[in-house]
Amino acid sequence: MKRKLFKATVAGAMALSTGFMMVPTASAVGEGPDYGGNETINTSILTTYEEMVSFLKNQEAKQEHMELEVIGQSVKDRDLYLVKYITNPNNPTILFLTQQHGNETLNTEGALEFIKHLGTGKMKGVLDGVNILILPRLNPDGAAGDVNFSLEDYVADGSYNLTRYNANRVDLNRDHVSRIQPETKALHDNVLGVYDIDYMIDLHHQGTSSERDGELVSGSILYPTTPNVDAEVLLKSKQLGAVVFDAIDSKGWGHLGKYNGGSAETISRNGIAVEYGISTLLFEMRGMADHYYEPYVLGQKSNGYLIKQTVTTLDATVRAIADRSIENADTSFWDTLPFQNTRPSE
Ligand SMILES: [Zn+2]
């Protein structure tokens, strides 16, 4: 049976009316609201595929340095877009990948916000030192709920549901070796195999109940953990993580744990590091937009700080690469950063 929620709290209604960019409060992270049956989870405030495409085309028309490329199509024939800022081929290049899992949405919202920033004076000079590739929403079918299986037990209200899987019910982040799905094939054939990429951040969302030092985290990070990764690639991955940790954990709303991930190379964090020598970082933000498993779903009152977390991450890393300060980033924090644990339920 599909859970329907009509119990919108006053705060929830306020969050709805103020939209995405509600200013987060300092305490938002630790005890930020989760779903728990108390809050409306409405998917209609998220950017649809059509809105995203028209935004990207609009930005391309406005921005001198931005170029938009269609790198392939999803199972349901949606174009997959790559946003490119390539000013000097000799500069290092970073790729930001979002929404391999369709129900992990706010990283895409943040990436779109960041694309807008790249067209403003704020980022003046940064593009002289770094090439930036952004692939927003690799899984547009799952994000639109346009899939070949039922989502009737998913919890979100709204005109559609969102799922982790692509239309064929495949987890794209387990398809990086065999590349059977058109989305992963397009990423490898037309992005990873074509551009000379140095760094990649793979942006996801995790459950709502992970904590570090007894406080709920705003996210978690991890470098490649396969034994087959080159030592230099691993070091640069840890430096990428150091830049992100320094930028996020110092914020009132930021609190990061170490993600406890495996060594399988079917996962992008491991497989892409080994196959292409790209230094990778997994970043898992707190909570998902929709799921059949309720404890994974986060109320939209947290959207403001989570979107800001993505924008801050992208901004900090491109700046650290552009001025080469990333090469001196201190990776020793990794030795003491604890793995996050799941808060026991009450
Ligand atoms: Zn994910």
259 CA → ligand 1 middle, Å: 12
346 CA → ligand 1 middle, Å: 26
283 CA → ligand 1 middle, Å: 9
Using CA atoms, how far residue 303 sits from 16, 45, 89, 177, in Å, is 11, 10, 36, 33
Computed over every residue of the chain, the mean pLDDT equals 89
Question: What is the torsional sign of CA 85, 87, 88, 91?
Answer: negative
HSE, CB side, 13 Å, CA atoms: give it for residue 243.
Answer: 27
Class of domain 10-342 (CATH, top level):
alpha beta
Q: Quickly state the pLDDT bin for 37 (edges 50, 70, 90).
A: low
pLDDT tens per residue across span 328-343: 999 999 999 999 999 9
Is the confidence at residue 324, as pLDDT, over 50? yes
63 CA → ligand 1 middle, Å: 30
**343 residue type, one letter:** R
Count Cβ atoms below 10 Å from residue 14 Cβ, excluding itself.
12
* DSSP symbol at 204: E
Cα dihedral 6/12/16/21 (nearest 10): -150
- What are the structural domain ranges in the chain? 10-342
Q: Which residue has the higher pLDDT, 87 or 11?
A: 87
> Could you give the CA distance from residue 203 to residue 271 in angstroms, rounded to a whole number?
15
pLDDT tens per residue across span 139-189: 999 999 999 999 999 988 888 999 999 999 999 999 999 999 999 999 999
Which residues are close to ligand 1, an ion, with C-beta < 5 A? 101, 104, 204
Of all residues in the chain, the percent with pLDDT exceeding 70 is: 88
169 CA → ligand 1 middle, Å: 14
pLDDT given for residue 260 in this prediction: 97
CA angle 71, 261, 289 (to 5 degrees): 60
Q: Quickly state the pLDDT bin for 38 (edges 50, 70, 90).
A: low
Q: Quickly state the pLDDT bin for 300 (edges 50, 70, 90).
A: confident
The number of residues making up the chain comes to: 346
Is the confidence at residue 136, as pLDDT, over 80? yes
Q: Name the pairing type of β-strands 131-135 and 199-206.
A: unpaired
pLDDT tens per residue across span 46-86: 999 999 999 999 999 999 999 999 999 999 999 999 999 99
Is the confidence at residue 219, as pLDDT, over 70? yes
> Could you give the CA distance from residue 12 to residue 209 in angstroms, rounded to a whole number?
20
Is the confidence at residue 15, as pLDDT, over 80? no
From 206, 228, 334, 207, select the one nearest 275 (Cα to Cα): 228
pLDDT tens per residue across span 237-272: 999 999 999 999 999 999 999 999 999 999 999 999
203 CA → ligand 1 middle, Å: 7
* DSSP symbol at 272: H
